Amino acid sequence: MFLLIGSFIAGMITVLAPCVLPLLPVIIGGSISGKVDDKKRPLIIAASLAASLIVFTVLLKATTLFIDIPPAIFTIISGGILIILGIALFFPSLYDGIIARLNLQAKSQQLLGQAGGKGRYLGAVITGAALGPVFSSCSPVYAYIIATVLPVNFAEAMVYIIAYVIGLSLMLLLIGYLGQRFLKRIKFIANPKGWFIRTIAVIFVVVGLLIVTGFDKKLQTYVSTHTPFDFDSFSSTLIPNATKTNGQGILNVDAYDAPEFTGLTNWINSEPLTNKDLKGKVVLIDFWTYSCINCIRTQPYLKDWYATYKDSDFVIIGLHAPEFSFEKNSKNVQDAVKKAGLEYPIALDNNFSTWNAFQNQYWPGTYLLDKEGKVRRYHGGEGEYKETEQAIRTLLAENGGRVPERTTRALDGSVPVSDAQSPETYLGTKRASNFVGTPLVTAGTGIKTFTPGELKNIDDWTLAGNWEVSAEGIKAVSGSTLKFRFAAKEMYFVTSGDGQGKQIQVTLNGQPISQTNSMGSDVHNSNIAISEARLYRAVKFKTFQKDNILELTVPQGVQLNAFTFGS
């Protein structure tokens, strides 16, 4: 309920977002660029924008129907439409001639149930529809719904998106009416060939050019840094704290009944378990996925806790929620569990059913339950190992429970992550970032020939040769190389396991990696043998390094999905 209300409020305040402010003249201009007293134009613009935003979300975010079309294309189309509308406003006779020639007058009248001037409402419909894709990147709440809720519950996400769109539309409708009411007092603006309407036309063209060229982002940044109102920070307060933490001590959650397990399959190390089976035990629920480096780095602590406390009514339940499609394969998960030496019960949550029930947001995400089955502690991500072990011991001791004298290395645990290190980087069209070169990785799927770009900045990466691009990764075809400029102590990459038995050649700053110069544990004689779908360790320095370039020469058939880093 909180997110539903928050989505509605977020939609309303989106009109204050830096990315929307430059568009408000277009909304107002579209509302009056017909008859100034026509009260239907603002309504049509708002309704068209709402419909456009919802359709854009469904088609591009929730399906793969347009996966071959780069997202930038839709932004270019939106800007192009605004330019065309601006030209039409500037030359109304030309606009009327096109409407008449294409018989759009009758079609628009049929569509809108109106009889009136030529294309009377068509411009309003097109204006609203064109702005939908532009508005789709303007709110942290909308982004949260798309990234966190939509992948695990389409129906719930659409309810939140509709609430967001309703709030946004109401505010745009109000702005349109207020602008119309103010401007209709100025008699000369009704002249379709007058300077005021032509000024509006120029604004349409300028805004369209800003969108097409990408300069609207620079303008948004300037507006954001030169206004006292921090839109993003305020909007973020509307995103629910799904963890329900109270921030007080090691038991940082106001106790609530843990959701029931649902949708779990392929149990490992155990028969299927239910909440009822776990009553009387302290339970640590760990949401993880086997190729996630953050999850891998927590495993030594999880194993220590399980070995130390399992005979004292303590159990860990690992719930594997896949980040990549190959992680849905139960054999891959079983192999990863065996290789990591995990002995506690693990189940696959391939449809994110239990993840969604807990409203989890992170890999890893840990929930600590007391003996009554109530959640008493939560932590997202790595770290706080000492606090988690103290909480385990506290809950074991409740009501006179037995607690072992010895503790584990978690009391001295630290997080091997630096704010200066390169971010996790995905390689497929779905989430690729920081790519340089031509064509863009995000410019659709299929086999493409890449020309490498210059790695001017840390975190840039580029490709050369022929690669087959998919939503989740890139697969080598011929002459396939990848370069990545990074900052970290350790560097890893994830593969889907395609091309098993083949070897990737690895060089660092143009030199082969050997036993003496920062070789990762999966590197042998400057090569990495691909044996299965998992995370591979490519580079390990003795200390954090600010600037290095890794190059991979990848044989045909080997797919890469992501790079991750540690320090």
Is residue 67's pLDDT more than 60?
no
Is residue 95's pLDDT more than 60?
no
**What is the rounded average pLDDT of the residues 258-265?**
93
Burial class (CB in 10 A: 0-12, 13-18, 19+), 356: buried
Contact 68, 149 (CB under 8 A): no
Nearest C-alpha neighbor of 6 from the set 125, 103, 133, 141: 141
Q: Bridge partners of 483?
A: 462, 551
Give the percent of the chain with pLDDT over 70.
71
282 versus 174: which is more confidently predicted? 282
**What is the rounded average pLDDT of the residues 330-350?**
92
Q: Identify the pLDDT of residue 68.
A: 47
Question: 248 to each of 46, 252, 326, 538, how far by Cα in Å?
Answer: 45, 5, 39, 40
54 versus 304: which is more confidently predicted? 304
Q: Is the peptide bond before 364 cis (omega within 30 degrees of 0)?
A: yes
Residue 364, token pair as written in the block: 């890893």
Contact 378, 368 (CB under 8 A): yes
Characterize the bridge pairing of strands 425-426 and 374-380. Answer: unpaired
**What is the rounded average pLDDT of the residues 34-42?**
61
Burial class (CB in 10 A: 0-12, 13-18, 19+), 106: exposed
> Which of the given ranges, 50-59, 84-93, 538-547, has the highest pLDDT on average?
538-547
Domain-wise residue ranges, the chain: 2-236, 256-412, 425-566
**Does this model's pTM top 0.75?**
no
Q: Identify the pLDDT of residue 91.
A: 74
To the nearest 10°, report the CA torsion of 517, 521, 526, 528: -160
Taking only the tens place, the pLDDT of each residue in 418-437 is 567 888 888 988 778 889 99
Contact 380, 285 (CB under 8 A): no
CATH of domain 425-566: 2.60.120.260
Taking only the tens place, the pLDDT of each residue in 228-252 is 555 655 665 676 655 555 556 788 8
Q: Identify the pLDDT of residue 448.
A: 92
Average pLDDT for the chain = 78
Q: How far apart are CA 344 and CA 337, in angstroms?
A: 10
Q: How far apart are CA 29 and CA 183, in angstroms?
A: 10
**What is the rounded average pLDDT of the residues 376-391?**
86
Q: How far apart are CA 365 and CA 379, in angstroms?
A: 6
Report helix, strand or coil for 481: strand
**What is the rounded average pLDDT of the residues 482-495?**
91
93 versus 108: which is more confidently predicted? 93
Contact 277, 352 (CB under 8 A): no
560 versus 402: which is more confidently predicted? 560
Taking only the tens place, the pLDDT of each residue in 2-32 is 678 878 888 887 777 666 666 666 666 655 5
pLDDT band (50, 70, 90) for residue 354: very high
Q: Identify the pLDDT of residue 445.
A: 83
- CATH fold, domain 256-412, is Glutaredoxin (3.40.30)
Other residues' Cβ atoms within 10 Å of the Cβ of residue 212: 18
Contacts 24+ apart (CB under 8 A), 442-447: 442/70, 442/71, 442/72, 443/70, 443/72, 444/67, 444/68, 444/69, 444/70, 444/469, 445/67, 445/68, 445/469, 445/470, 445/471, 446/68, 447/477
Which residues, 6 or more positions from 195, have their beta carbon under 8 angstroms from its beta carbon? none
Strand intervals (E) in 431-523: 437-438, 446-452, 461-469, 474-495, 503-508, 511-512
Contact 128, 44 (CB under 8 A): yes
Give the percent of the chain with pLDDT over 90.
25
Contact 383, 416 (CB under 8 A): no
Other residues' Cβ atoms within 10 Å of the Cβ of residue 456: 8
Q: How far apart are CA 314 and CA 396, in angstroms?
A: 8
Q: Identify the pLDDT of residue 197.
A: 67
